[in-house]
Structure 1
């Protein structure tokens, strides 16, 4: 995990800056063009009819899966509590992590994952270094679970590509082996490394225990599995769950590369491109619209309410602390006069 070790900043080389900007711009152009090409002949009335056909029980199950997923993700910050040793109770940590995750999904990692987390934790009295370590552990937990699942699904070739895409199957399998290797290296380092801390680019990296790393892997994998389970629930019954999981994992990397908030358009483009040879495009779109409504928008609405309550409580604490400080100051003045 990383904590600030100095005030010096790492200067990015100009070619790296422009390369990143160029890649981002390329995908910003590519995704809308690809999505338009894939959706140009969609029968939208059929999509609407499919959405209306979802039973209340199916929607309720979807909400239950979403609630379970958000609870698992919020538990990442409980691992951060165990890792850093801070004393905030779980009743403060879980709502905070829930709000950050909902905003992260919808508005991007910088808003929900970073800025909001620093703000809310600092209001509870945690320092920048502690919050950084919590954030770092949460990120590693998420992507460690991703590497385990994606490595397994990709290496076993559980994502059936369209016929004209078969050349990508071997490449995806090699990526799967690489992801499993990376996850294994992390776990092995947590178990066998005698040196527990390193400095890298002015940050200190401290390895957790193997037990904590295994819990990270489990929680991360469960969360990604639940996300895929929601999409699977909304698709026709004859689809193969590992296939849905694999496509979701591919689309998540594409969304991370493009930096588009909520992966808007990226998720749809990848699912349609890789699944339309098995499932009608109208069914795919209906499932993804339902997925976004249940997993993105519904939690965001709840998170806005929770966030306002957290801010209100923070102001009350600041008011109480301010009054206590004034009282203590007056007591000190009276003590001086009496002495």
Structure 2
């Protein structure tokens, strides 16, 4: 009980701290310089960033195929990938409750999957996503902790401890998949089944590659003038800050973290310009495509329902 209460207050304190950071950085942001810097982004740079973004979205769309394999449901792989892509694009822009959860249940339900199966598919996808995050985040924090702004009050020793904890958590999951004798549990009526070691390693490889691709988009748009590990670190910290604050699309949070960590070396204008371009190629363009695909699936479903009657 005490740990649960302490964890709740720690979460509240983190949200307040991130909110204060966002407000402080937003007041000092030079949006005029950002607009001028954005106008100077080369078309070739945007094209490369868009290609990396497309590769990332295509890879994430296959996460649900792991759940398809482990649950044994019979939906065709292209349909599963379509649901994964649509859900991810809406998740990025509208939040996890809308895209990651509600939309998945709705789309899979219309395709005939029972809620329990959808829950397991969703669970495996979440595990896949965060397993790679733990490995990459743990590695960069342990080996190359960033120099945080003084008002963050978190030293490099604490970051190294956090990095070690993330790596231990990832290693614990992989070890369970490899050596645990008991392979399933029931939690609130849902069965949790450990995948075999090969699947766990595949989850790790897919997720780590995806996070690396996302950081690659940011690195390209930042002009490749900063070391890639520094950009990766900023992205990983911004991602978890965005999740904790529950702001749709991490609005303001991503910008605040990137400016705080990289703005002094590159300038606020170029950093903000890169992030505006990043939102365009990684958030908005996929959302437009996902919206069109969603309505196409809806129309196809209505046509089949009418034909059946």
How does the TM-score come out when normalised to structure 2?
0.92
2:129 matches 1:142 = yes
Q: CA deviation at 1:320?
A: 2.9
- Which of residues 120, 126, 146 is equivalent to 1:133? 120
Gaps of 5+ in 1: 1-12, 324-339
2:227 matches 1:227 = no
User: What is the 5 A alignment of 1:148-163?
Assistant: 148-162=135-149
Distance in 1 separating the partners of 2:150 and 2:119: 45
Secondary structure, aligned partner of 1:205:
strand
Question: Would you say the 8 A contact 2:145–2:156 is kept in 1?
Answer: no
User: What is the 5 A alignment of 1:44-55?
Assistant: 44-55=31-42
Q: CA deviation at 1:277?
A: 2.6
Q: CA deviation at 1:251?
A: 1.3
2:77 matches 1:90 = yes
Residue correspondences, number: 308
Call closer, same or farther: CA 1:246–1:22 in 2, change over 3 Å. Answer: closer
Question: Would you say the 8 A contact 1:66–1:230 is kept in 2?
Answer: yes
**What's 2:257 paired with?**
270
**What's 1:333 paired with?**
none
Call closer, same or farther: CA 1:167–1:108 in 2, change over 3 Å. Answer: closer
2:223 matches 1:258 = no
Q: CA deviation at 1:152?
A: 0.7
**What's 1:299 paired with?**
286
Question: Would you say the 8 A contact 2:145–2:159 is kept in 1?
Answer: no
2:270 matches 1:283 = yes
- Which of residues 84, 90, 110 is equivalent to 1:103? 90
Question: Would you say the 8 A contact 2:18–2:241 is kept in 1?
Answer: no
Secondary structure, aligned partner of 1:231:
helix
User: Which is worse superposed, 190-199 or 152-161?
Assistant: 152-161
- Which of residues 1, 6, 24 is equivalent to 1:37? 24
Q: CA deviation at 1:90?
A: 1.5
Call closer, same or farther: CA 1:32–1:180 in 2, change over 3 Å. Answer: closer
- Which of residues 192, 196, 204 is equivalent to 1:205? 192
Call closer, same or farther: CA 1:315–1:24 in 2, change over 3 Å. Answer: farther
Q: CA deviation at 1:299?
A: 0.7
Q: CA deviation at 1:36?
A: 3.9
Q: CA deviation at 1:238?
A: 2.3
Q: Give the number of the structure whose alpha-carbon radius of gyration is greater.
A: 1
Call closer, same or farther: CA 1:95–1:41 in 2, change over 3 Å. Answer: same
Q: CA deviation at 1:318?
A: 2.0
Q: CA deviation at 1:140?
A: 0.3
Call closer, same or farther: CA 1:139–1:194 in 2, change over 3 Å. Answer: same
Distance in 2 separating the partners of 1:263 and 1:60: 24
Q: CA deviation at 1:201?
A: 3.9
Secondary structure, aligned partner of 1:118:
helix
Q: CA deviation at 1:159?
A: 2.5
Call closer, same or farther: CA 1:61–1:135 in 2, change over 3 Å. Answer: same
Calculate the aligned-residue CA RMSD, in Å.
2.4
Distance in 1 separating the partners of 2:153 and 2:144: 11
Distance in 2 separating the partners of 1:244 and 1:143: 18
Question: Would you say the 8 A contact 2:145–2:160 is kept in 1?
Answer: no
Question: Would you say the 8 A contact 2:35–2:273 is kept in 1?
Answer: yes
Secondary structure, aligned partner of 1:276:
helix
**What's 1:241 paired with?**
228
Q: CA deviation at 1:228?
A: 0.8
Q: CA deviation at 1:287?
A: 0.9
How does the TM-score come out when normalised to structure 1?
0.84
Secondary structure, aligned partner of 1:40:
helix
- Which of residues 318, 321, 325 is equivalent to 2:305? 318
Call closer, same or farther: CA 1:84–1:249 in 2, change over 3 Å. Answer: same
